Amino acid sequence: MDTSKNKREWQEKTLKASLKRAPEREERFLTNSGLEIDDLYTPDDLQGFDYVQKLGFSGEYPFTRGVQPTMYRGRVWTMRQYAGFASAEESNKRYHYLLEQGQTGLSVAFDLPTQIGYDSDHPKAQGEVGKVGVPISSLEDMETLFKGIPFDKVSTSMTINSTAPILLAMYIAVGKKQGVDPSKLDGTIQNDLLKEYIARGTYIFPPRPSMRLITDIFSYCTEKLPRWNTISISGYHIREAGSTAPQEVAFTLANGMAYVQAAIDIGLDVDKFAGRLSFFFAAHSNLFEEVAKFRAARRLWAKIMNERFRAKDPRSMMLRFHTQTCGHTLTAQQPDNNIIRTAMQALSAVLGGTQSLHTNSRDEAYATPSAEAVTIALRTQQLLAYENGVGDCVDPFGGSYYVEHLTDVLQAEAEKYIEKIDQLGGALAAIEHGFQQREIQESSYRAQKDIESGRRTVVGVNKFVSPYPPITGLLKVNPVEAEKQKQRVIALKAKRDKKKVTQVLNNLKEVASGKGNTMPVVIECVESYATLGEICDVLRSVFGEQQEFLVF
């Protein structure tokens, strides 16, 4: 049968019929990223599709269908609700609540001063302590944050970048106090500075010393923390800044390539560290495009690790990833719609084979999630996991003409961007040229224009608009908590062994000024109750501070 001829005849016939009913049908159908969608897909759309090379089986190269042979039939994804606010004590209560509600892993949000290396008593921290996450200035705060939470039973993800070595050191120190050997610790540190220069901005040091700190973590954990995911290479913030799906995949994997190369350059064997690299993606609103995106990212990373870096261990080629539903798609208008948005985005992540998942809360366009809202978000995951059978079959969209075609297109588009980045000298050089930043700005602008013109529908915002009652029960961070946190830091600095703190900080300066691994001495610093701000000040004195990239 000539399927291509039959498809053309079918399209001509149905187009004539549909135009009589709806003249606007002449408009092209596009994904959120602007990829054109045909009316119908047939085997002809997969010409040259090599089953073994492109699809294969789950748990086997090229991992298109998933990184584990049985995927969720063996174990459902880890449910991590990103949380942290007010103080270590208040955040600890939220963690215990979430674990009681069935959450299976922790995900820590840190406040802005903690992210950019200032203690809670620093003048620059005023007004920001505990607002967008938990304030952590010292090991004492970290001990409070994880009080009653056994590190040998719960894995923890920490979304922290510039100060990642310090927070990881604190986590190791708390584990020791619990009697848990570092080799038994299970979790992830984000530790992805390149995407900060591209899309997020919570950097402290220039890129090259930042890369040194990242590879110090790789080297240290390879030896001491074999179960720890040393980096979570993040496309989430790239997508939240306005990128398309192909850009999210390309820029994320290009950053991953830069990290792999940096580790190889300091003498690490790719198969010794690459199996502990992890990734972090957004789940946007177009379900089929997102499913295809996750599949394409897995296949492309496997190809990169196999062909470019000559990895031999299959684990080095596996793209394991966490997913978060898209925060910037949440609307203040008709906030209950956000529950449905989140559910559909979470469904795409599960159908795409994520390893762990955070679901956003209905009230996040207004505030840090309330306990009620975050419970609904967690229940969304539990409903997907246990009620509707979406995890019963590995890669249920595998073989779909449409999804396989989209997977191919997304991979091809991402590869074009990676080629451009290679031509500029790699991810870091491209960032210094402003390439990724400009591409994201242009994509974000186009998407916003589409919303404002009505070409893209946002229910409750530019279509189906109706009055809605004011949202109630919002979480409000008590400003008293910030002052209490500030006084705790002042009291700690007064009671600790000042001579010991001075000594370890001097040791850190010496190591940072040379070529040694900074992680062992950072651990000594936090165990002596040197604060996060003091450690960062030492590193600032050696590395300097990054100035904002100007993109024209």
pLDDT tens by residue, 291-322: 999 999 999 999 999 999 999 999 999 999 99
User: For residue 25, what pLDDT is reported?
Assistant: 46
Lowest-pLDDT choice from 2-11, 220-229, 230-239, 275-284: 2-11
- Mean pLDDT, all residues of the chain: 94
- In the prediction, which pLDDT does 151 show? 97
User: How confident is the model over 443-459, as a mean pLDDT?
Assistant: 96
Average the pLDDT over 227-249 and give the result.
97
Confidence band of 551 (pLDDT split at 50, 70, 90): low
Q: What is the pLDDT of residue 548?
A: 77
Q: Using a CB cutoff of 8 Å and minimum separation of 24, what contacts does 208-213 make?
A: 208/428, 209/539, 209/542, 209/543, 209/544, 210/162, 210/546, 211/258, 211/259, 211/262, 211/428, 212/518, 213/164, 213/165, 213/518, 213/539
d(CA 239, CA 282): 7
Edge-first strand order for the sheet with 228-229 is: 228-229, 187-189, 156-159, 105-109, 78-83, 356-358, 321-325, 277-283, 231-234
Considering the chain, what percentage of its residues have pLDDT values greater than 70?
94
Tell me how many helices (H) and strands (E) the chain has: 20, 11
Delimit the domains of the chain by residue range: 51-59+70-453
Q: What is the pLDDT confidence band of residue 470, given thresholds at 50, 70 and 90?
A: confident
Residue bearing the bigger pLDDT, 470 or 158: 158
Decide if pLDDT at 132 tops 90: yes
With residues binned 3-state (H G I as helix, E B as strand, rest as coil), the percentages for the chain, rounded to 5, are 55, 10, 35
Give residues with Cβ within 8 angstroms of 17, minimum separation 6.
none
Predicted confidence (pLDDT) at residue 474 exceeds the cutoff of 80: yes
Question: How long, in residues, is the chain?
Answer: 552
Encode pLDDT of 157-211 as tens digits. 999 999 999 999 999 999 999 999 999 999 999 999 999 999 999 999 999 999 9
Q: Coil, strand or helix: which one is 463?
A: strand
Q: Is 291 exposed, middle or buried (0-12, 13-18, 19+ CB in 10 A)?
A: buried
Mean local confidence (pLDDT), 342-359: 98
DSSP strand pairing (36-37 vs 29-30): antiparallel
Instruction: Report the CATH architecture of 51-59+70-453.
Output: Alpha-Beta Barrel (3.20)
Q: What is the pLDDT of residue 139?
A: 98
β-sheet bridge partners, residue 463? 459
What does pTM read for this prediction?
Answer: 0.94
What mean pLDDT is predicted for residues 269-288? 97
Q: Looking at residue 395, what is its pLDDT?
A: 96
- Which residue reads 């009055």 in tokens? 467
Quick one: pLDDT at residue 14? 66
Q: Which residue has the tokens 């092209």?
A: 28
- 258 pLDDT higher than 60: yes
**Average pLDDT rounded to a whole number, residues 207-227:** 96
% residues pLDDT > 90 (the chain)? 89
What is d(CA 164, CA 166) in angstroms, rounded to the nearest whole number? 5
Mean pLDDT on 360-389: 97
The HSE-up count of residue 150 (CA atoms within 13 Å, CB side) is: 3
* All residues at 6 or more sequence positions from 381 whose CB lies less than 8 Å from its CB, including other chains: 77, 79, 346, 357, 359
How much is the pLDDT for 19? Answer: 52
What pLDDT shows up at residue 29? Answer: 87
Give the integer Cα–Cα distance in Å for 314 and 305. Answer: 9
Mean pLDDT of 469-483: 93
In degrees, rounded to 5, the angle at the alpha carbon of residue 21 between the alpha carbons of residues 19 and 27 is 40
Strand partners, 277: 231
What confidence score (pLDDT) does residue 20 get? 55
| pLDDT > 90? residue 121 | yes
pLDDT at 49: 62
Contact 77, 38 (CB under 8 A): no
231 to 62, 215, 260: CA distances (angstroms) = 22, 10, 11
Contact 462, 115 (CB under 8 A): no
What is the gyration radius of the CA atoms in the chain, in angstroms?
Answer: 24
Out of 31-45, 65-79, 451-465, 489-503, which region has the weakest mean confidence (pLDDT)? 31-45
